[in-house]
Structure 1
Amino acid sequence: MSGTSPSTTLSNTLDLARRTEALGYHRYWLAEHHNTPSIASSSPAVLIGQIAAATSTLRVGAGGVMLPNHQPLVVAEQFGTLAAFHPGRIDLGLGRAAGTDPLTAQALQRGGGQPRGDTFGAQISEVLGFLGAPGGGRRGPVAAYPQAETPPPVWVLGSSPNGARLAAELGLPFATAHHFSPQNTVNAVTAYRRSFRSTGNLAAPYAVVAAVVIVGEDDAQALRLASSVEIAHLELFTGNLGPYLSPEEADRAPYSPQQRQIARESFAPQLIGGPETVRRRALELLAASGADELMALTIVHDHTARVRSYELLAQALAGGPAAVSSQPAAALGAG
């Protein structure tokens, strides 16, 4: 965020985790992004350890670890360690993209010999094998230590029916990226449920839909708060990446009314509005997609406003059928 140091940003992340836990949220995921000034989440395993240590009931996980950047053995070692520290509270979401630009991806993978995205399923099987989870590939004499008594659940992250079918084939839970690919949400979850077969990790299909959720006191305030992420969307496509701007800074950003309108329209499928608006749209999204859980990505500039959005969302969905989880940064790399 503009005007905020990395230390303050990370401190706010811990504060948000504690507050969402107190509000009754049950899952808190962190993404992997590199060379992105607006996201302080290049090392999700490190962040997960800090947040799990600062909370007691939240499931804390990666949404996700981008497998092209890592050797499966290292991923299994990291998350086996986390699961041993925090039994029953760690999730491992795996994505097929690099979570960054091509030059940074090359720097991450230089000399490592990592497989590319077209071997995503094989990489997941390797991770499962090293974790000692059902469905994993055999690794011979190589094992990941320490191993938790119960391996952390492995999730497949995706934004299309192809990723959904892979999750179904492997018998793993699936998280779909409505926040950047809303046109595929319904088809992806439908394909996942139709193709699911149990492999010992999960008895029945389980799907999360991750959406941008910004709740204000009313629709007008929420739209005002959303101007920061709308400008960030424009900057992503113009290559002018920087910290998230405040609404006042967003007003002064050098974009035309036409560009701003395009950005606003791109967020129309997301859940942005006052409590009643967001409640209605959240239940509609869960019903249309068939997802079991809503994951809320609340990207606003002001930390107090961000916390308040999660408070309003919890109140709006209190007593409803939706399971709700939180994520402090969008998982833009999941493909």
Structure 2
Amino acid sequence: MSGGVYDIIIVGGGAAGLTAALYATRQGLKTLVITKDIGGQLTLAPRIENYPGIKAVAGLELAQSIKEQAEEFGAEFVYDEAIGISQLNNTFRVSTKVSGDYDALAVILAFGKTPRSLDVPGEDRLVGRGVSYCAICDAPLFRGKKVAVVGWGDHAFNAVKILRAYGNKVYIIHRGEAKLTDEELIRESESMNVVYVPNSTVSEIKGDTKVRSIVLKNVKTGEESELEVDGVFVEMGYMAKTDWMKGFVQLNENGEIVTDKLGMTSRPGVFAAGDVTDTLYKQAVIAAAQGAIAALSAYNYIQQLRGRPTKKSDWG
């Protein structure tokens, strides 16, 4: 075990986790944040224009700012990956891949979700340079440009609608053929100047400092072709990597952590916030708000353990 017993351990360093750390430390809790990196999905957004009180900010810059605030109040950080969690009477033990085990009276799970990727050459290198996993975040950066949306179903078509609102010409790349139930979606897309490219996958994303084109492969013929685009929106959904949570807290059918309105999971003392939860909307400001709620709820939980008064409101 490292660092003695903390009041609270927060797993995750994105908007939810960092905000939770800020609120927990302001309540005087000895707080440890375990995260592989700082920013989480915020780092995928080169420019955020819908965070209240800030005209525009890079996602990483916003994350660093919240981290610095939390550190000012005493938050500690360990850069590692959490791989296990267990309960020992009134304490919880979080195991990490490299640095050992850490114990705390309460835990906040805020490690977000991971976008499903294409796993093709050029993708990782061009993230934030034309490759995006969030149309609602990044569509304004591609106003009037040619973009490709890779995926199908409601998730991808919502991205198409968002992009078309900014005057984009959109190519929607789909490895299959449309079913009868998809005809209405196709007609709607065609009326919005969207080019439907069926039976195709992306085999490479090209560009030096930013996306210039994608290589398409026809899954029926094997033939490859190149399509010039300024952006690629990978809209195949997100994965909650919560296998290590199974049997410890309740998960829904999508692997998301089920919480109540106070951020409490099915296990008392364990809270969750942000995109890893079953909340409908996945946005930075919502994740931050949930992080604050989870931290205040965890504070009250710890106060109850210690037989001390809890807080019902806090505007400070």
Structure showing greater Rg:
2
TM-score by length of 2: 0.31
Higher helix share: 1
Higher strand share: 2
TM-score by length of 1: 0.30
